Amino acid sequence: MKRKQGKQTEQHRKKRSSKPVAAEGLHAKNEVVTVDMIGLTHDGDGVGRTEQGFTLFIPHALPGERVEAKVLKSKKQYGYGKLLSHHSKSEQRIEPACPIYAQCGGCQLQHFDYEAQLKWKRQHVIDSLTRIGKLNVAEEAVTGEAEKDDALNPHTGADYRAGLIVHDTIGMSDPWRYRNKAAVPIGLAADNGELVGGFYAKGSHRIIDMDNCLIQKDLNDEVIAIVKQLAKELNIQPYDEDTNSGVLRHVMTRIGVVTGEIMIVLITNTEKLPRKTEWIEQLRKRVPNVKSIVHNINNKVTNAIFGERTEVLWGSEVIYDELDGLRFAISARSFYQVNPEQTVTLYRKAVEYAALTGKEQVIDAYCGIGSISLFLARQAGHVYGVEIVPEAIEDAKRNAELNGLDNTTFEAGPAEVVIPRWKQEGMNADVIVVDPPRKGCDPALLETILAIQPERVVYVSCNPSTLARDLRVLEDGGYRTVEVTPVDMFPHTGHVECVAWLKRI
């Protein structure tokens, strides 16, 4: 009998010991802890350590602060918290200008002094380049006589022999009211079921109703407010994400900043737009500069804004805008940078790094509607643009014709397929420019670049992490990254764009 009890006790002990042991420093959900903030994530959330050494990510907390936070989610190595109060505040903390900043997820850094934002974004780029790309970044730029040494940038005189130069982030003199496009989800208010339109609360699909967004052009706010009011007057049912019912899902507006032209896109869950005639009549009456009213149908259960079918209800298929003297036709689904002032800065830097003399053959991969291509074409011998979206290529051809730039060739298809064929047909690229989406370059395109071996590569990036990854591939294939210039395209958010210049060695 005793032996049986002993066996049971031993089995019970084994069973107990097989349970997972809590990691050291792990905190329970809803526990209130003291946290020392040490950094920011790439999304702008604070990174902190509790007194037990546990890592917590806390929105709206800044490096150097000591805070009280409530643990919202706890994992083995890290957790997520909510800022409750401060023991000490950063000198770089400021009062956010937006009254709904704490609820809205559109911006992440309004509580951070703007000059500090720019410095953090540069450091974020450096950290990505060194940690992910394993690149050697110089402590500071050293200038010299450009004409005397090939290691000097002929434009800036910067000496990169001490390592890759990462310049200061180019910011805006007035970092507000910069967005020329708004895409606003429409839904039901949780409390009364009324139509609301704004931006999602961070990490959720709960819409924060918004009438005034400080990073949007004023005209966007005005048009969105008109559309919301008109939808209520016409008794148009807002979209209910839970049941996939209702009519109006999103409203998108585009503003031609130079031309003043306005496009309004109504995105519905229904095949037909109810009371279409009244929509057109009232929008034309209430929005004097409207040039295009468009209906897009998206009846799928998806997070995507646009559906596949688009119909022009009234006016033109496109509106026009200008960048640095170049004129662009922009359709409802065209990719067109949302910050025109900083776009010019970004593209001018790309042209500078391309170091064109008027004779070069240049490839613009991921060319979109040809915006960078046309900047390049003004100083190149010939520019070849490739893009996988056929509609974008048609836009690019139209934009080249619109600006009288006949030294361009645009073709739809995968860059890694089209570019080798161009090479076989006798095109020898001196410069390749890439401007990929956030996921970075397709590996096959990087292989193509290494096979083509242009003298220079200019990489325009919206994601420092994938930029660093791709630069490592190009460096291993015989290129050296000379300079990187961060450009603040999206002030008060965690995003930063970069232009990188690589030369063949």
Catalytic positions, written as ranges: 462
3-state class (DSSP) for residue 300? coil
List the Cα angle 279/191/103 in 5-degree steps.
Answer: 90
Pairwise CA distance, residues 363 & 239, whole Å: 43
Extract the tokens encoding 354: 């391309």
Q: How far apart are CA 174 and CA 340, in angstroms?
A: 13
Distance CA 277, CA 287 (A): 15
Distance between CA atoms of 90 and 63, rounded to whole angstroms?
7
What is the C-alpha to C-alpha distance for residues 55 and 37, in angstroms, rounded to an integer?
10
Token pair for 24: 């050291």
**Quick one: how far is CA 473 from the chain centroid?**
23
CA distances 184 to 1, 11, 56, 253, 303, Å, are: 74, 60, 31, 9, 13
The four Cα atoms 275, 317, 176, 303 give a dihedral, to 10 degrees, of 60
Residue count (the chain): 505
At 147, list the tokens.
């004409």
CA 406/CA 18 separation, integer angstroms: 72
Q: Residue 376 to residues 36, 89, 347, 362: CA-CA distances in angstroms? A: 48, 46, 9, 8
Query: Residue 173 and residue 170: Cα distance in Å, rounded?
Result: 10
